[in-house]
Amino acid sequence: MSGTTQKTVTITLDGTNRKLTIPLMSGTAGADVFDIRKLYNELGVFTYDPGYGATASCESKVTYIDGDVGILQYRGYPIEQLAHHSNFLEVCYLLLNGELPNKAKADEFTKGVMHHTMLHEQIRSFYNGFRRDAHPMAVMCGVVGALSAFYHDSLDINDPESRRISAFRLIAKLPTIAAWAHKYTIGQPFMYPRNDLTYAENFLYMFHAVPTEEYKVNPVLSRAMDLIMILHADHEQNASTSTVRLAGSTGANPFACIAAGIASLWGPAHGGANEAVLKMLADIGHVDNIPEFLSEVKDKNNHAKLMGFGHRVYKNYDPRAKIIQQACHDVLKELGIEGDPLLDLAMALEKIALTDPYFIDRKLYPNVDFYSGIILKAMGFPTSMFTALFALSRTVGWITQWQELIQDPEQRIGRPRQIYTGPAERDYVGMADRT
């Protein structure tokens, strides 16, 4: 556990002589924490924190976010520097191992991942069980969860080598699973992975190529893909990562835990927001309709939300959104797409929202999802694939956090409590006596 400070807090229950003094602990950066593990035993009370807005579920050394300033760091390295200088597999190594690799380690890691990108040939038949119009996230949940039916040799969560192999398999195979989910929905043959390509190039190849002609990966698109994967790789204890940790705390195998994370990410309040942003922009349609849309968002009787805005942690600009916005311009320019109406509409919407007291007062700023959908659409991905791309990028973060959980001596099965406000005890009433 992190270091204890000299500071404490003492809780006294009014009307009783029961009190508890709790030490304040501090980490490398960020908010200090009160260790409340003795609270119930000492005072017979629980804390109440729906949505866990003020609750630290674990100690972690992986990712640090300062939401007030808009800082994101993977293992201490600022996201802006990793986005500019690094590549996705190097970031995967950093997240998993805690340090940047030297050349030899980087080459060994890359070779290890790129030589595990194939799926067991029988997994192809899984896809046939889905309707052609199945959402790719439904396919991803199903196929990833079923990987534990194939890889019995890496399910021992207490064996470091099994954990290492599972991490490699998941990072290596998620792009193949995602690309094949797309190919299945459009009725095209699956493209087998190619070990001679980079991780991002290989994904674009499997996604876009067809057997009938040569496919040259556009370097602008592969660089953009690599950048998008870096930006989505990890993000502290978000909903899907917390889902993976909770599943992992029961001893479930890593494939089942990652499938649970994919399911959790799917929600429009979380990773599904990038898809929802595109739908929102299409519904708005034109800059002239922005004021009417924003008035609907501000109307409490309306359930409209400005998708891609707001964040539980960021109360300032999401640093990833700034990087993606710039990448949007670069990709559109490189592709010769002069003035994407969606990007123009999004930028106009952002500009208006950021001057509106409703959003300013609530500290609602663009998050990573506000622009990611626009760049993905410009890169030729269907909207239904956006969250699947988020999932394949976040898999390294999920598996890193899962490994940290398994090795954390302080961790035990996650089991929150509640405040019960249901009926007091009462006796059963026979049918004849019911009204």
Shortest distance in whole angstroms from residue 361 CB to ligand SDX = 9
> Smallest distance, Å, CB 203 to ligand SDX?
19
Catalytic residue list contains 286: no
Binding site for ligand SDX (CB under 6 A): 51, 235, 238, 269-271, 273, 297, 305-313, 362, 364, 367-369
d(CA 13, CA 45): 10
Other Cβ atoms less than 10 A from the Cβ of 22: the count is 18
Q: Cα(127)–Cα(187) distance, rounded to whole angstroms?
A: 11
Nearer to ligand SDX, 35 or 80 (CB): 80
Compute the least distance from the CB of residue 362 to ligand SDX, in Å.
Answer: 4
Q: Are 371 and 325 in contact (CB under 8 A)?
A: yes
In the bound state with ligand SDX, the residue whose beta carbon lies nearer, of 253 and 367, is: 367
Q: Which is nearer to ligand SDX, 127 or 309 (CB)?
A: 309
| Inter-residue contact 142 to 255 (CB < 8 Å) | no
- Which of 306/328 has CB closer to ligand SDX? 306
Residue in 234, 318, 340, 369 annotated catalytic: 369
Query: Which one, of 373, 398, 360, 370, lies nearest residue 264 by Cα?
Result: 398
Q: Which is nearer to ligand SDX, 364 or 379 (CB)?
A: 364
Active site includes 303? no
Sheet containing strand 3-12, edge to edge, reads: 3-12, 19-26, 33-34
Residue from 134, 139, 369, 181 nearest 275 by CA: 369
Name the catalytic one among 135, 182, 208, 311.
311
By C-alpha distance, which of 99, 80, 339, 344 is closest to 227? 80
Rounded Cα–Cα distance for residues 226 and 341 (Å): 25
Tokens 């790719």 correspond to: 136
Taking CB atoms, the residue at the shortest distance from ligand SDX is: 310
The least CB distance from residue 214 to ligand SDX, in Å, is 36
Q: What one-character-per-residue DSSP string does 299-317 give?
A: -TTS----TTB--SS-SS-
Q: How far is the CB of 369 from ligand SDX (least distance, A)?
A: 5
Just list the catalytic residues: 311, 369
